[in-house]
Amino acid sequence: MQQTEILQQAPEILLPETLSPQVALSIVVPVLNEQESVRLLYENLSAQLDQIGKRYEVIFVDDGSSDGTFTELKKLYDEHAGIVRIIRFRRNFGKTPALVAGFSRSRGDVVFTMDGDLQDDPEEIPHMLAKLDEGYDLITGWKFPRLDPISKTFPSHVFNWLVSRMTGVYLHDINNGFKAYRREVINDPHLKLYGEFHRFIPVMAHWRGYRVAEIKVRHHRRKFGMSKFGVSRFARGLIDLLNVLFLTTFMRTPLRLFSPIGFVALLVGTLIDVFVVMRRIVFNEPIHLQPLLFLGILLMIFGIQFILTGLQSEMIRHYAFQPDEEYSIKQELE
């Protein structure tokens, strides 16, 4: 009798064929040389998603893996047709293009992104869905506690601090790839992702008026393979941060950026002229014999030209952006 009651209280697990044909959840997973991880990741994902009781799909984007990752993904596709979908790039294009490719082919009302290294825990998915139900549009994970070496955590802390102070979007872990998006965020035509802008989606979404929240998520140590994090990634992130700041702050009001630069340049030029004149008065040194004046003017002109040329190029890049130009697909399994 007791055993019967326990069985009645157990959560019902719905098989995919018994669910509504409408895909409710899409999981987009970019992978690069994760041969040992992809099967275990899918098993963990499916075990959790089957209990939620909604139709789902798992989209793996093979970002130019050089090991047996695609072979393992092909096995999963053959075993779970209709659920597992695969996008295979011709070479390594980067995480942002991989996410763009996955987003463009996803069908779910809610889209999750997570890394393929088993460090993100699928058991956090219901918690993210619950947070979305509170009225938020984008939920980003905060790995707490974070089980990574200091070579990764320290640059990440510095980067998160800079992003928070410079954008006003206060997140503890903006680099976390474990996120949940409502479909309208993914479909927003003004969220143009290129370079390594994927990490700044919460900033751009906040700028567009979407509600962004952060929740603590369980973090696991890497079991297989090597981290793709490096100093160059941190440096590229700083450059992209400047780009995002410009695109989200000064795109529609560029005069607010250019006017202070012009004012500072004018002030510096005036101070240099005053200094040269004072040297002429005090030391009776001819102005035309003071190369400092000409050097300062040249540096000022070239500096401003380079900055403005870079920002104008970003504006052109932003408006000319086409998602399908950011990657090349070798094979696609639907």
Lowest mean pLDDT among 60-74, 134-148, 297-311: 297-311
- Verify that 81 and 193 share a domain, yes or no: yes
Residue 32 near residue 119, CB atoms below 8 Å: no
- pLDDT-derived band at 223 (thresholds 50, 70, 90) equals low
Q: State the total domains in the chain.
A: 2
- Verify that 240 and 259 share a domain, yes or no: no
On whether residue 290 sits in a domain, the answer given is yes
For 122-148, the pLDDT digits (tens) are: 999 999 999 999 999 999 999 887 766
- Verify that 174 and 281 share a domain, yes or no: no
Name the pTM for this structure: 0.71
- Verify that 282 and 312 share a domain, yes or no: yes
- Verify that 224 and 296 share a domain, yes or no: no
pLDDT of residue 15: 45
Task: Name 296's bridge partners.
Answer: none
Could you say which of 198, 224, 250 is where a domain stops? 250
The CATH number of whichever domain residue 31 belongs to comes to 3.90.550.10
On whether residue 5 sits in a domain, the answer given is no
For 241-264, the pLDDT digits (tens) are: 777 777 766 655 555 566 567 677
- Verify that 203 and 272 share a domain, yes or no: no
- Verify that 168 and 261 share a domain, yes or no: no
On whether residue 78 sits in a domain, the answer given is yes
**Which residues span the domain enclosing 156?**
10-250
- Verify that 117 and 200 share a domain, yes or no: yes
- pLDDT-derived band at 106 (thresholds 50, 70, 90) equals very high
- Verify that 83 and 165 share a domain, yes or no: yes
- Verify that 169 and 194 share a domain, yes or no: yes
On whether residue 19 sits in a domain, the answer given is yes
- Verify that 208 and 234 share a domain, yes or no: yes
- pLDDT-derived band at 17 (thresholds 50, 70, 90) equals very low
Could you say which of 205, 225, 250 is where a domain stops? 250
On whether residue 299 sits in a domain, the answer given is yes
Could you say which of 232, 250, 268 is where a domain stops? 250
- Verify that 273 and 188 share a domain, yes or no: no
